[in-house]
Chain A
Amino acid sequence: MDELELLKKDWQKKKDNLPKVSYNDIHQMLWKKSSSIVKWIFYISIIEFVLPHLLYLLPSTRESVDIYESLGMKNFIIISSILQYSVIIYFIYQFYTRYKEITVLDNSKNLMKRILKTRKTVKSYVIFSLSMILFMFGAIVVSIYLNDNFDSSTYEPFVAITKNFSKEKVKPILMAVFAFTGIAVTLILGGIYFLLYGILLKKLKINYAELKKLEV
């Protein structure tokens, strides 16, 4: 006899050995929070969207905005902020539409595809944000290079450095500090993000690849 037929015969008799959950147990479960990966992706994404903007609420970050004024980058910052926010709004819209399309009633392959698509939106957003961070630090480094007059600056770290170092050294030191900070911030934020998602979506990716393989 076919092995699976043997198994099937036994499988369909299995009722007695299975656990039983009562009406009340089910009732309680209805109010528990889902721990599905879709929920996780949603929460993490909201954090991704909100966190950088919350940083501006901290006094220390707000102060550092002074740096742009010291370097005469004010107009540049206003224009790039407008661009940045337009792109962010676009990403949030995309994310929301895709997130809404995820339904457990879909077939498995489509469900996985939609989840990965939603995740891709967030991934693109994160890459965009990281590039922006890197770009901003890059712009600061360039402005320092082009700027010769730090004496009038009120930005504290500038004042401290100008006081303690000779004039020729100030520029390279400042440029190195900003370049290094920019790269470090980008790497750390990016590393955390990709590690988090890697762990979260490992199983889903394996299963999706398996289903895709069946198509060939």
Chain B
Amino acid sequence: MTKELEHNFITELENNQNIVHKVCTLYTNNKDAHNDLFQEITIQLWKAYPKFRGESKFSTWMYRIAINTAITLYRKSKRTIITQDYESVIFKIKADEYDETEEQQLKLLYKAVKELGDIDKALVFLYLEDKNYTEIAETLGISEVNARVKMNRIKKKLKTILNP
């Protein structure tokens, strides 16, 4: 029974690991910290897994735990050392896919998002993952109206960064 539970969990996480990696990308600045946070999120997911009843999709269930771990439980906060190759792997933008201005814009946008506070990042992350405001609000424990207001503020902030 435990073996089966373990196998199911690992398979689910293996298939949905991109979600966790994306959270780690946003909240850490180098490979070690990325792996460290990935491991902590995995432990938290595993601890909570017996309570996962399958009412929602596994991936939906992961978001909350991943965000909670990143902004609340994870002890080490921002690390300043940014490894060059780490940045280029994560934010590599293939030149042939975009025109130059768009590529430039995206680079600036990613940089700007990385500089946001923990809570703002969580909002942006859920937004980028195509979550609606009801889900964003429920995950963070704020009202839907406030989630919208906050998101608009972040949008404005990003706009000014791009068009100074």
A residues within 8 Å of B by Cβ?
A: 2-4, 6-8, 10-12, 14-15, 17-23, 26-27, 29-30, 32-38, 40, 103-112, 115, 200, 202-204, 206-207, 210-211, 214-215
Contact = CB atoms under 8 A, between A and B. Distances in A.
A207 B128 contact: no
Given A6-B105, A37-B75, A107-B141, 7 more contacts: A2-B155, A17-B92, A29-B43, A30-B9, A30-B43, A104-B65, A214-B143
Contacts, number: 159
B53 to A, nearest CB: 11
Most chain A CB within a 10 A radius of its CB, from B48, B75, B105, B117: B75
Most chain A CB within a 10 A radius of its CB, from B68, B69, B77: B68
Identify the 7 closest CB pairs spanning chains A and B, nearest first. A109-B141, A107-B141, A36-B73, A18-B21, A11-B128, A203-B77, A210-B119
Contacts of B93: 10
B46 interface: yes
Contacts of A214: 142-143, 146, 149-150
Interface string B99-114: 0001001100110010
A103 B146 contact: no
A19 B6 contact: no
Contacts of A111: 68, 72, 141
Please classify how large the interface on chain B is, using the bins under 10, 10 to 19, 20 to 34, 35 or more.
35 or more
Nearest to A4: B155
Nearest to A27: B10
B134 interface: no
Most chain A CB within a 10 A radius of its CB, from B9, B10, B67: B10
Interface in B55-113: 64-65, 67-69, 71-75, 77, 89-93, 102, 105-106, 109-110, 113
B68 A108 contact: yes
15 contacts: A2-B155, A6-B105, A7-B128, A11-B129, A14-B22, A17-B90, A18-B18, A30-B43, A36-B40, A36-B73, A40-B75, A105-B48, A107-B138, A108-B122, A108-B141
B48 A15 contact: no
Contacts of A35: 40, 75
B4 interface: no
Contacts of B18: 14-15, 18
A7 B72 contact: no
Interface in B143-163: 143, 146, 149-150, 155, 158-159, 162
Contacts of A19: 21, 34, 89
B162 A207 contact: no
Interface string B10-42: 110110011001100100000000100011101
A207 B71 CA distance: 7
A26 B72 contact: no
A43 B119 CA distance: 27
